[in-house]
Each structure stands twice: as structure tokens, then as C-alpha cells.
Amino acid sequence: MDTWLLSRMQELRDLQGLIGLATWDQETYLPAKAGPARAHQLSTLQGLHHERLVDPRLGEALARAASQDLTGDARAMVRVLSREREREVRVPSDLVKALAEAQSKALHAWREARKERRFALFQPALQRLLELRREQADAYGHGGERYDALLEGHEPGMRVERLTPVLSALREHLIPMVGKLVGARRPVARLFDGRRYDKDAQWAFTLRLLQDIGFDLEAGRQDVSIHPFTGGTHPLDVRLTTHVDETSPLSAIFSTIHEAGHGLYEQGFSPAHYRTPLASAPSMGLHESQSRLWENIVGRSRPFWEHYFPALRAAFPEALAAVDLDDFHLAVNEVSPSLIRIESDEVTYNLHIALRYELELLLVRDELPLADLPAAWNARMEKYLGVTPPDDTRGVLQDIHWAWGELGYFPTYSLGNLYAASLYRAAERALPDLAGHLRRGELLPLRDWLRTHIHSQGFRLPAEELVRGVTGHGLTDTDFLAYLKSKYGALYGVSL
């Protein structure tokens, strides 16, 4: 690859890293009054990134490189950057501006609507955003299914045609499964009720977890933010945040494990890919598979807590002295249909996603008038989960995603769950004593297996292809359903 092209790739990555820094700082250490100043700085950086990406000289250099006989990695770099550039080029700058304005208005309207608990206050702003996103989908280009063009922004290569059957089948399996688990009515211990738990002790526990899990604290850090996230500037500068809730250490613990899953992915990119388009996950779904694998499959497993529960009890004896491991394990895996997605368990979670995916698809296809959205939401909640939102704030207004104009993002959460289960099953085959490792607090064998087979591959292959190479098959709900049946069947003493 010629040095000019490589240096432009590096410059683009540096700009992305700096956007990462400014965003991380905004959520962690930015002084209260500096919000508008930071918004300007971020907008300047994003503008420069856009300008460099759509630069015709970059297009020519990529075209030249694509016609050359490049090595595998260089070819992949050119392919990934070309795809990113093509998408960016296709959206007219007037539309970019209109979207930014519509987003800003929608965010405001969404907040107001939540206060008043009335979707109608959000509807006009969402309508505008939806029209612009349809326009954007047409600008990106698609083969008749606009949603594909939006999905492509989060899950490159995935299509509605492939996704719908998988998520629908999953939904049809989950609805009766949830019914059985709710019917089993196991009494669940209420943990950490009504006391305050020392923040330093919580923090120390999360740092111990990060160390054990193999998150390199010399190539990353953990800080506190209101909403946990993973950011940073480079694979050697990965920044996790967690949320410390004084009323229960479980919030910080599971947030830390979740974000560490993302963080290990970022730290695991190959040094040969640093500052190139390959130091990136091939999809949001695959990124999310790593956080969910660690948080749910490992972090809510019995072997994991066989090792950590004594330490947790020692750290918080006032809450846990009378709780045994089985009670604890059940309590952190309680299945209970609820109104709110982010509070839901791993069995009902995908029903929340199915609902959103189906509604998004209808909206993007213009098959559901926005005025009918709350009713459609509530009807599906009743049908899938047996609960009905008492108001829009606890229903259709609960997520910020649509106010951001994000469409095609929600399904990546379910893809994360499905990929996680398939990858974990492959890891079990490769590491026959995996449960034993977890039981002894040895988390590195799993991290190393994931690093070799997933993280270090970066964006060489599309997500599903990469997963197929590792597990022998592409996207499927088989492994996830088998995992749920085995785990929750045993926990609730029912046959699923």
C-alpha cells in the first residue's frame, strides 16, 4: 500500500481516537459548564473526519490500491475503508445537517414527552427523523429493503431477509419458555435490601475482577460515569466506565464485567492492525457478544460465583452473611417479565428486542402510522411478555435510541446474545476444563481463546463469516436456546 494511503488511514484512526477521548472526557471529567464548548469541539473533529473521509484523493488512492496485488491484510484495510467511505460519500451534506438538527430536536422532545408521559409530544419530532432516515437509507442505496441500509451501519453484511426468520423463531421459542419459568414460581432472595454499601469496597471488587479477567490496566483504565460505556482512543488506551450504586454492589459488578467484555475486544486487536481500519470489530453484534458472554454466560454462572461468592460475602457481610451460593445464583438470574428492557433478565431480554425490531421495520417500511406506535408497542408487550405499560414513559418512550435517530441498532443486542452462546459453546469444546477454570477463578484461558479467534482478527472478515470459521456455523439461535434451557431448566427445576 502506498505511504500516502497508509498515512491517511492512520490520520482517520487518530481522529476517531480523539473523538473517543473527547467523548469519554465528556462523560467522566468535563466540568459542568463546559458542555456547549465540548459539543463544538466534537463537531469540529467530526467535521474534519468527514472531510478527510470523503476527500476525492482518498477515493482515488483506494481505487488504485484495490486494483493492486495487495497482501490479505492490506486488501482488507482497503475494502473496509472503501465501504466506510462509500457510505459517507453518498449522504449529501444537507441531509447530514438536517439529521443533526432533527436529532437535537427529537432529543429535546423525547425528554419533554417522558416528563409528561405522553408519546404524542415526541411524535412530530420522531416523524421528521424517520423521514430523514428513510431518505438517508435511499441515499446509501439498498435492494428494495430500506432497513437493510440502516442495519448495515451497525451490522455490516446483515440483511432483514436473514435476520427476521432468526429473531422470529427465537421469539416463538422464548414466549412459552418465559411462561414456564414464571409458572415455576421459585422464591427468590432479595439481595442488598435497604442498606448502603461502601463505594470504595465496591470499586476494589470491580478492580479485582478486571485484573482477573485479564483487562490490562496499563493499556486502559476504569472510571465512573452515570451510564457505563466502553470508549478510549487506541487498543492500548481502552477506557471502561462503571456505575457505582450505593444501594447494591451488583450494579457496578455486572457493569464492570459487561464493559470489560467490550474492553478485552478493543485491547485484543492485533498490533499489526493498530491505526488502521482493521483494528475494529466487524459489527456491533459481535462486539456485544463479548460483553454478554462475559456478563451473562460467565458472570452469572454458578462456577464463576463458586469462586467469587466467598470474596463478595467477605466484602459485604452485612448483606450476604445469611445468603448461600444457591440463593445468590438464583437471585442474579431471576426471570421476571418486566416493562423495562435494561432491567430485564437474559431470557426475556430478546423479547424486548423482537418487539423493537418488528416495530422499527414497520416504521421504516412506512407500514405503521406513528400515531399507532404506542398501541402497537403495548399490544406486543402484552402478547410477548404479558405486561402492559401503565404509561408511555414506561413503554414506547423508555429508550433513547429512537430519539438519536438510531434504527437498526436494537437487533444487534440479540445478535450479541446469539453469537455469544455459539462462541461460548465453541470455547467449551476447545477448552474441555472451562467450567473448572471458572471455578478456580482462572479467566485467562477463555480470554486468550477469544483473543486468538475473535479479537485479534479485527475487521478481516464480516461478523458472521468470522463466527462461522470459529464455530462451524453462522448465525443461529440453537446454541443460545440450548444454553437457556440447560441453565434455567436446572435453576427453576422445570423442563424447558
Dist. CA 406–CA 103, nearest whole Å: 10
- Find the shortest distance in angstroms from Cβ 13 to a second copy: 9
The residue with cell 477463578 is 441
Cα separation, 231 vs 147, whole angstroms: 27
Distance CA 329, CA 91 (A): 49
CB of 216 to a second copy, least distance (A): 7
Q: Contact positions toward a second copy, by CB under 8 A?
A: 10-11, 14-15, 17-18, 21-22, 25, 29-34, 36-38, 40-41, 44-45, 47-48, 216-221, 223, 233-234, 236-238, 274-275
Q: How far is the CB of 274 from a second copy (least distance, A)?
A: 7
Q: Which three cell numbers stand for residue 48?
A: 474534519
Contact 240, 261 (CB under 8 A): no
**Cα dihedral across residues 340, 329, 417, 13: positive or negative:** positive
Which residues are registered as beta bridge partners of 222? Answer: 240
The interaxial angle of helices 349-364 and 123-140, nearest 10 deg, is 80
Strand partners for 436: none
Active site residue 131: no
Nearer to a second copy, 232 or 405 (CB): 232
Tally the C-alpha atoms within 13 A of residue 340's C-alpha that lie toward its C-beta. 8
- Min CB(210)–a second copy separation in Å: 12
Q: How far is the CB of 65 from a second copy (least distance, A)?
A: 21
Comparison of 263 and 389: residue with beta carbon closer to a second copy? 263
Length of the chain: 496
Show Cβ contacts of residue 132 under 8 Å, excluding neighbours closer than 6 positions: 95, 98, 99, 102, 405
The DSSP call for residue 248 is B
**Which is nearest to 375 in space by CA: 392, 362, 400?**
392
Is 287 marked within a binding site?
A: no
For the bound state, the minimum distance from the C-beta of residue 38 to a second copy, rounded and expressed in Å, comes to 7
With cell 441500509, the residue in question is 149
CA proximity to 205, closest of 115, 132, 312: 312
| Shortest CB 45 distance to a second copy, Å | 7
Residues 6+ apart with CB under 8 A from 111: none
Of 233 and 344, nearer to a second copy (C-beta) is 233
Nearer to a second copy, 38 or 401 (CB): 38
Between 216 and 334, name the residue whose CB sits nearer to a second copy.
216
**Residue 288 is labelled as binding a ligand:** yes
Calpha distance 329→301 (Å, rounded): 7
- CA separation, residue 90 to residues 8, 127, 355 (Å): 20, 23, 31
The whole-angstrom separation of Cα 73 and Cα 6 is 12
Q: What is the side-by-side order of every strand in the sheet holding 220-224? A: 220-224, 237-242, 230-234
Coil, strand or helix at 339: coil
Residue among 26 and 164 whose Cβ is closer to a second copy: 26
CB of residue 303 vs a second copy: minimum separation in angstroms? Answer: 31
Give dist(CA 344, CA 340) in Å, integer.
6
Longest dimension (CA), the chain: 69
Q: Minimal distance in Å, beta carbon 43 to a second copy? A: 8
Long-range pairs for 25-29: beta carbons < 8 A, 24 or more residues apart: 27/225, 27/226, 27/227, 27/229, 27/231, 27/241, 28/223, 28/224, 28/225, 28/241, 29/223
d(CA 16, CA 394): 35
Q: Which of 152, 259, 360, 464 is catalytic?
A: 259
> Between 32 and 226, whose beta carbon lies closer to a second copy?
32
DSSP β-bridge partners for residue 224: 242
- 34 vs 120 by CB, closer to a second copy: 34
Q: End-to-end CA distance of the chain: give it in Å, rounded.
A: 54
17 three-class SS: helix
Say whether 108 counts as a known binding-site residue.
Answer: no
Nearest residue (CB) to a second copy, 29 versus 325: 29
Active site residues: 259
Residues in the annotated binding site for Zn(2+): 258, 262, 288
